Amino acid sequence: MLEILSPVRLLGLPGSLRQASFSRATLIGLRDSLPEKVTLEIHEPQLPLYNEDDDRSNGPEQVLKFRDAIKNSDGVVIVTPEYNHGVPGVLKNALDWASRPFGRSVLAKKPTLAISVSSAFTGGVRAHAQLNETLLAIPALVAGGPQIVIGNIGEKIADGVLVDQPSLHFALAALRQMISMCRLSSSRLMA
């Protein structure tokens, strides 16, 4: 029997605001290597600091757009650098907005892949662990397998794109698993 694969819409969230962001470069490299019928939109929201008082109403407009982007995706790919052995504040802030109001997280049960990148050889492993902990608490559906950490990232980027083939293959293997999770989740919703 011929299997027809459904399209998959992924949302990419770089955990850095830096102009020459390694996180964005990694997402671009992944986007350029995706299989047919899979798209990756890189989303870089400019969100206010999380304040529960602002969340009691509909919330700020840029937050509503951010939440809608997550809702309208089949899965989320988050790439984070490591700052002081953890995730950057801008990423944690975005995850806090996505996880609220309590019990109505747009990331709940959403297939999600965490990737960390670092100039150090460790690849941001501590930020990766912290990110996974936060995602599990939200509770996102975190793609399993080995931790996707890419060390010495500065040497693996050319013209703002991750080009190192071993790193891309490593990350794409996990991404393929997440794409399967997205298709499985989508087929369950249609059943």
> Is 0.85 surpassed by the pTM of this model?
yes
Query: What's the CATH number of domain 11-190, 3.40.50.360, 3.40.50.1000, 3.40.50.1360, 3.40.1440.60?
Result: 3.40.50.360
Predicted local distance difference test score (pLDDT) of residue 34: 93
Partners of 38 in the beta sheet?
A: 8
For strands 161-162 and 157-158, give the pairing.
Answer: antiparallel
- Report pLDDT digits (tens) over 34-56: 988 999 999 998 999 998 888 77
Residue 90: alpha-carbon gap to chain centroid: 13
CB 53: neighbour CB atoms within 10 A?
6
Least confident of 12-26, 52-66, 110-124: 52-66
**For residues 6-11, average pLDDT:** 94
Contacts of residue 47, defined as CB under 8 A and 6 or more positions apart, other chains included, come to 60, 62, 63, 66, 90, 93, 94, 97
User: How many Å apart are CA 58 and CA 133, to the nearest integer?
Assistant: 27
User: How many Å apart are CA 68 and CA 66, to the nearest integer?
Assistant: 5
Task: pLDDT band for 186, please (50, 70, 90 cuts).
Answer: low
**For residues 142-171, average pLDDT:** 92
Predicted local distance difference test score (pLDDT) of residue 188: 52
High-pLDDT (> 70) share of the chain, %: 94
Partners of 141 in the beta sheet?
A: 111
For residues 146 and 70, the answer to whether their CB atoms sit within 8 Å is no
Residue 108: alpha-carbon gap to chain centroid: 14
User: Domain residue spans in the chain?
Assistant: 11-190
**For residues 68-89, average pLDDT:** 95
- Report pLDDT digits (tens) over 108-139: 999 999 999 999 888 889 999 999 999 999 99
